[in-house]
Structure 1
Amino acid sequence: MIRLGLTGSIGMGKSTTAAMFAAAGVPVWDADAAVHRLYAPGGAAVAPLAAAFPEAVSDHVDRMALKTVIARDPAALDRIEAIVHPLVAADRDAFRPSVPMAVFDIPLLFEKSVQMDRTLLVTAPAVLQRARVLSRPNMTEAMLDTILSRQMPDRDKRARADHIIETLDPEATRLQVHALIRYLTQHA
C-alpha cells in the first residue's frame, strides 16, 4: 500500500482535498480526528493528560482548557505533545486498510518528520490562506499569526514535497487529485 502523506499549513485546503480523495474511494486517516478520539471519554489520552493537567480533564480532555494552560505556561505544549504525539502515531500505525493507496492527513507531517511513501503538499497564495482562515468563527489575526509561527513556511514545505496541488479552485483541485491517484496507483 502506498502511504501518501497529505499536508499543508492552516487554510491551505487539506480537509477539502482529503475529502476529495475519500470521495474517489481512497481511505483517509485524519490526524485531527485521531486527536478527537484520543481526547473523548475513554480515549487513550484522557488518563495521562489528567495526571499532568488535571484542570483540563474531566471524563474527556477539554481543548479550550488546554489552550488556557498553554497560554499560562507555554512550556506545557511540549509536555502535552510528548503525551499525545506517540498516541497519535500508534493510531496512525494501526490504520492499515487493504487497498493500493491510503491518504494520511497530517498537518505537521514535515515538522514532526513523519515518514510516508510519498508526500503531497496542498497550498494557496498567502492572501487566500489568510482570507480563508480569518473567515472562520472566532479566528483573529493574532491567533492566525501564532499558528503560522508554529508551522514550517510554505516555501520550505514545497521543497520537501513529492507532489504539490494548488487549491485555488475546487474543480481544478479535484482534477489534480484524480490525476495523482491514477499516477500513484499506476506507478506503485
Structure 2
Amino acid sequence: MTKAASGKSGPFVLGLTGSIGMGKSTVAGMFRELGVPVFDADAEVHRLQGPGGELLAAIEAAFPGTTGPAGVDRGALGAAVFGDPHALARLEAIVHPVVANRRAAFLRAEAAHPLLILDIPLLYEKGGYRELDGVAVVSAPPAVQRERVLAREGMSAEKFERILALQVPDSKKRERADFVIDTGTSLEATRAQVCALVTKLGRAE
C-alpha cells in the first residue's frame, strides 16, 4: 500500500530487504550517503546482544550458557534454537519487542525527514511489510548471489542451501516488491537506482 492510498502523512517509510548475498548492506550504505536515515534491524540486535547488551540477562535465563563477557555466544545460541521451533519462538519473544521499540523510537526521532529506510532482512518472512508505505527488494542473479555467499569465511554450499530454505525465494520477493534494486550490475548503476528512488520517494509527501 502506498502512502497516498493509506492516507498516511509524514515520512515515506520504505522497507529494504533481500536474500543473503544480494547486496542489501551495500544499498543501505548508499541511502545513508544520500542523507536518508536508515534503521538497521540486524545491527540493533547485535548491539542488544553485545557486551553489556540489554538482552543478555533475559537470553541467559532462557538459554543458560549462551552468553558471557563478550555478549551472546552466537554459536552456542544458534545450537540451542536450531531445529527447535519452540526455542526459536522463545528467543524471538525476547528480542522482537525490544527491537520494535527501538524502531519506533527511530521513526519518531527522524520524523522530519521525507524518506526513512527500515533495513529488515526477514521482512516478508515475519510479515513486517504490512506496516510500511512500500518495500524495496535488493536482488541479483542466482549465480552472482551464490558466488558472493560462498566467498564468505566459514560458508559452505550446504549452509548456503539451509539458509535459502528458510527465506522467501528471491523471485517471490521481487513479485511482491514495490521497487526492485538490481545489484547484479556495477556499483555505479546500482547507486543510480538508489538515487532515482530517493528522488521519487523523497517527494512523496
* Contact persistence 2:12–2:204 (CA under 8 A): no
- In 2, the alpha carbon distance for the partners of 1:148 and 1:86 equals 26
- In 1, the alpha carbon distance for the partners of 2:44 and 2:140 equals 26
Residues 33-182 of structure 1: matches in 2 within 5 Å? 33-59=43-69, 60-71=71-82, 73=84, 75-96=86-107, 97=110, 98-114=112-128, 115-168=131-184, 169-182=186-199
| Distance apart, 1:123 and its partner CA | 0.4
- In 1, the alpha carbon distance for the partners of 2:123 and 2:84 equals 25
Q: Letter of the aligned partner of 2:114 in structure 1?
A: P
* Contact persistence 2:114–2:203 (CA under 8 A): no
* Structure 2: unaligned runs, 5 residues or longer: 1-10
| Residue matched to 2:8 | none
Taking only aligned residues, the RMSD between alpha carbons, in angstroms, comes to 1.5
Q: 1:140 to 1:75 in 2, by over 3 A?
A: farther
**16-25 or 61-70, larger mean C-alpha shift:** 61-70
- In 1, the alpha carbon distance for the partners of 2:23 and 2:30 equals 11
| Distance apart, 1:135 and its partner CA | 0.4
Q: Letter of the aligned partner of 2:187 in structure 1?
A: P
Q: Letter of the aligned partner of 1:40 in structure 2?
A: G
Q: Could you give the per-residue CA deviations for residues 113-132 of structure 1, whole angstroms, max 9, x where no partner exists?
A: 11211110010111110110
Q: Letter of the aligned partner of 2:164 in structure 1?
A: L
TM-score (norm 1): 0.94
TM-score (norm 2): 0.86
**97-106 or 5-14, larger mean C-alpha shift:** 97-106
| Distance apart, 1:186 and its partner CA | 1.8
| Distance apart, 1:47 and its partner CA | 1.4
Identity of aligned residues (%): 52
Q: Could you give the per-residue CA deviations for residues 132-180 of structure 1, whole angstroms, max 9, x where no partner exists?
A: 0000111111111111111111121112111111111211100000000
* Structure 1: unaligned runs, 5 residues or longer: none
